[in-house]
Structure 1
Amino acid sequence: MIVVWRVVDSCNLACGFCAFDKRLGFPRSQAAPADILRFAAVLAEHQAGTGDRVLLSWLGGEPLRWQPLQALTHAVRGLGLEVSATTNGTTLGSPQLRRHLCETYKELTISVDGFSAFHDPSRGWAGGFEKLRLWVPALAAEARALGSRLKLRANVVLMHQNVGEFAALCRELAGWGISEITYNQLGGRDRPEFYPEHRLTRADVDALERALPEIRPSLVARGAVLIGGEQYLTRIRASARDERIPVADCDPGQSFLFIDEKGLISPCSFTTQDYGVDVGSVRSAADLAALPDRFRRMRQAARSRQCDDCLSTQVCGKFNAARREAPALAAAE
């Protein structure tokens, strides 16, 4: 089971495509540490009772800048759960933090969208790419020296302006000690004013499809892997063509949960408004096991419009190996 918890909606960077851009003037929120500890105990009970390993993944905003996170991570690890996070990398210059990551984390995903000329202005971080170029290899070296099992992953947001350098960027990232690379297409829901000029075009997707068979073996030779296969490319291609891909039943809550900073659990980040359940109402492994049926009843009562064009990367095969495709997305009911 993978549980992604957005613990903060604040960030120290200014990304024009992101809903949590520091320049945006809205009240920022954070998760209640007591909720995290209480629900982590439920997850540990589930894991002990079923043998199903649980990965609790911190998301933001920028989670590694949230002051309570290190203590919470130690507490979660003490319960026997695995931990990961997604970060913009601005904290990785700290040797103390790097050691903490090596000692406690299973995975760390670092957002890198291009070389300096693209990444730095896109994220509002002068010198950011060159700092990551120093800090990420240092983290990789420290993980090896400590015998850490930490997996370093990079995620790239693909746009019209950076897709042409994706192959070169992947090779660069592999040289940093990144062992796995994932990618997202730019989405238009968070910042619709940014989307039209920067979205992937049909020609961009065609070029990406042609490049992938060459990128993958070149990375393997460098000790890295690019994941996300044909099912995922189908989702990206449909978006470029303004085509919808509906999903009838994604087994909501069965192996993936999203929790926002306000403590609402849902099958994915897109359906929180329609299917959100208060984390405080899930107090036992039995309550957790009942969530999938709870979500199904909500869907039967009022199907979320988000499911008429599913953008959830968990459903669309982002994390599938390129040669092992999941079944095709279901047709709408």
Structure 2
Amino acid sequence: MVFDGRELVIVWRIWESCSLACRFCGYSRELSRPRLAAEVPSIIAFAQVLRDVQQEHGRSILVSWLGGEPLAWAELPGLSRILAREHGLRLGVTTNGLPLESPRVRASLLSDYQQVTVSIDGLAPFHDHVRRMPGLFDRIGEATARLCSEDSSGRLWRRVNTVLMRGNIEKFAQFCEAVADWGFHELTFNQLGGNERPEFYPANRLLPEQIMRFTDELPGIRRRMADRGLLIRGTQRYLARITATSNGEQIAVEDCNPACRFLFIDTLGRISPCSFTSDSYGIPISEIDSAEAFLTLPDRFRAMQRERRLAACDDCHATHVFDKFKSQTGVAPSVRA
């Protein structure tokens, strides 16, 4: 594993329950499915390995919690405190926003985290409808405002992630204006996928003509939002991936540089190059018991890929591989007062 000073991001699904009934999500409360939680001792043991990787090899590591709704997990505040304060790991979390109404949750974020990502899927009418909770959009706005006012040191990086669908993409510019008003630093976007809720996908997937229009309008939106201090992530390569999906085209990836920039861990404690490969390439984190073992992951994953290539690699939808989180060249946000 070669380090170049850039951060390694580990997205860790730790909790599969959620109080919302979102129409497009596989973790909606209305679905009858197992609701797993990660094992706390296993998390702490692996955090010690990550600490050693940081200290011995100079690699900054961000662990980003994913759910379900991870901030609803009772174990998380104490666990995050251990990882941040005892092991020196940087922390992030993705949330539906409702837990931000809790003063205790906000205090935990401001003391132990570097990043929070709030999932918001358009303006109030659409967001509240697709997530089946009237008033949710406004509640998130109010909770975010409290979080901003309490972050006197400017410690916490605030990101909004939005899922682009047929019913919300036309108002993307207005949506960006709204979240800029709320004090978010950056915005990332996904296109709606069909793996989790295939019954929702056909009538709500993006149309090719919508993506063409979006691609044409995005540079101007980026510039306007940069002037307001909101950075919109995602390069032309990412837009090309979205366009290909809408046209039914596959994009194969021969070498995704597994474990060099990104790793995924599921609730079963399996570490893999991405969430699409957990079942086939996942390695139990109990096997990764030292910094030296951790450093072998790229070679181990490449060996697995050579031995048995997956259909997921012949049509790769791992967004980090296609530069979802990178900035378009030449666009930088203004500094907020």
Give matches, 1:157-168, under 5 Å: 157-168=163-174
C-alpha separation in 2, matches of 1:38 and 1:73: 13
Encode CA deviations 1:34-69: one digit per residue, 9 max, x unaligned. Answer: 111000000000000111100000000100000100
User: Partner of 1:106 in structure 2?
Assistant: 114
C-alpha separation in 2, matches of 1:162 and 1:98: 29
C-alpha separation in 1, matches of 2:217 and 2:109: 33
How far is the alpha carbon of 1:246 from its aligned partner? 0.4
Matched, 1:275 2:281: yes
State the SS of the aligned residue for 1:110: strand
User: Partner of 1:53 in structure 2?
Assistant: 60
TM-score computed with the length of structure 1 as normaliser:
0.95
Aligned alpha-carbon RMSD (Å): 1.1
Number of residues of Structure 1 aligned to a counterpart in Structure 2: 323
User: Partner of 2:31 in structure 1?
Assistant: 24
Alignment-mate amino acid for residue 322 of structure 2: C
C-alpha separation in 2, matches of 1:176 and 1:197: 31
How far is the alpha carbon of 1:221 from its aligned partner? 1.7
C-alpha separation in 2, matches of 1:148 and 1:221: 19
State the SS of the aligned residue for 1:270: helix
State the SS of the aligned residue for 1:10: coil
Gap regions ≥5 residues in structure 1 = 326-333
Encode CA deviations 1:256-307: one digit per residue, 9 max, x unaligned. Answer: 1100001011000001111010111100001100111111111111111100
Matched, 1:258 2:264: yes
User: Partner of 1:210 in structure 2?
Assistant: 216
Encode CA deviations 1:130-173: one digit per residue, 9 max, x unaligned. Answer: 10111112111211x2x141000000100000001111001110
Residue of 88, 91, 100 corresponding to 1:83: 91
User: Partner of 1:235 in structure 2?
Assistant: 241
User: Partner of 1:330 in structure 2?
Assistant: none
C-alpha separation in 2, matches of 1:23 and 1:268: 26
Residue of 95, 99, 115 corresponding to 2:103: 95
C-alpha separation in 2, matches of 1:301 and 1:14: 40
C-alpha separation in 2, matches of 1:46 and 1:298: 23
How far is the alpha carbon of 1:255 from its aligned partner? 2.1
C-alpha separation in 2, matches of 1:148 and 1:207: 36
User: Partner of 2:335 in structure 1?
Assistant: none
State the SS of the aligned residue for 1:273: helix
Residue of 144, 153, 164 corresponding to 2:159: 153
Matched, 1:38 2:45: yes
| Contact 1:102 1:148 survives alignment (8 Å) | no
C-alpha separation in 2, matches of 1:59 and 1:240: 27
Alignment-mate amino acid for residue 8 of structure 1: W
Encode CA deviations 1:2-50: one digit per residue, 9 max, x unaligned. Answer: 1110001111111111111110001210100011100000000000011
C-alpha separation in 2, matches of 1:253 and 1:227: 22
Alignment-mate amino acid for residue 237 of structure 1: T
Matched, 1:134 2:138: no
Residue of 180, 187, 190 corresponding to 1:174: 180
% same residue: 42
User: Partner of 2:78 in structure 1?
Assistant: 71
| Contact 1:103 1:148 survives alignment (8 Å) | no
Matched, 1:196 2:194: no
Encode CA deviations 1:71-111: one digit per residue, 9 max, x unaligned. Answer: 01000002111000000011111122112211111000000
User: Partner of 2:5 in structure 1?
Assistant: none
TM-score computed with the length of structure 2 as normaliser:
0.94
Matched, 1:287 2:269: no
State the SS of the aligned residue for 2:171: helix
User: Partner of 1:13 in structure 2?
Assistant: 20
C-alpha separation in 1, matches of 2:272 and 2:311: 14
State the SS of the aligned residue for 1:177: coil
The verdict on how the C-alpha distance between 1:121 and 1:108 changes in structure 2, with shifts beyond 3 A counting, is same
State the SS of the aligned residue for 2:99: coil
C-alpha separation in 2, matches of 1:25 and 1:97: 28
C-alpha separation in 1, matches of 2:123 and 2:285: 40
| Contact 1:42 1:283 survives alignment (8 Å) | yes
| Residues 292-301 or 157-166, more deviating | 292-301
